[in-house]
Amino acid sequence: MTKTEKVNFVIKTLKNLYPEIPVPLDHKDPYTLLIAVLLSAQCTDVRVNQITPILFERADNPYDMVKLSVDEIRAIIRPCGLSPMKSKGIYGLSRILIEKFQGKVPQSFEALEALPAVGHKTASVVMSQAFGVAAFPVDTHIHRLMYRWNLSNGKNVKQTEKDAKRLFPKELWNDLHLQIIWYGREYSPARGWNLEKDIISKTIGRKSILKQKIRD
């Protein structure tokens, strides 16, 4: 297969598997999405979705969030891990949203990435899922599969994002990044990988990895 044929195979397969694409993190608006994505760093979406209802019952907007102390936020979000950093980030960005943006989440990468504890991936998820701006956030699943499918060299997530944006049509980025995440979880996980179920990797995957998997 040529690289173009591989890309088209990925698009077609994912569209057939996921014609409707659920958003992994529960939220109701850009602010609650921003907080949920921040909490998801080194934490599963399942765990985040268990914790955010507790947090959002107390504060689902920046004005109520800053009424809580950093320690109160930390106590609630502790099960998500990295709670000292995340609690300070949530409190700090909430205050900035009030002071600079009238309590609204800004609709630009630059403004989002300037907020405490918000990196490029978090900003990309918010821009994509909250505002419909074309973005290709790369998480561990996408990074793993782009390498496994021989569509990126796997050096770092920055290069993987660059390769994904170069290979896939821009109008599909927002759907594809979610479809690849779901595919990675269900068909091509890091552990317990069953190659027979993983039709994409089996068809277009990196030969060295497939040979190793077959031997295993």
- Kindly name the residue from 60, 139, 163, 198 that is annotated as catalytic: 139
Q: What is the torsional sign of CA 131, 135, 136, 138?
A: negative
Q: Quick check: 176 and 145 in contact, CB under 8 A?
A: no
- 26 given a catalytic annotation: no
Q: Quick check: 161 and 136 in contact, CB under 8 A?
A: yes
CA distances from 69 to 64, 89, 91, 105, 109 (A): 11, 12, 8, 21, 28
- Kindly name the residue from 86, 121, 163, 198 that is annotated as catalytic: 121
CA distance 185 to 31: 26
Which residues are catalytically annotated?
121, 139
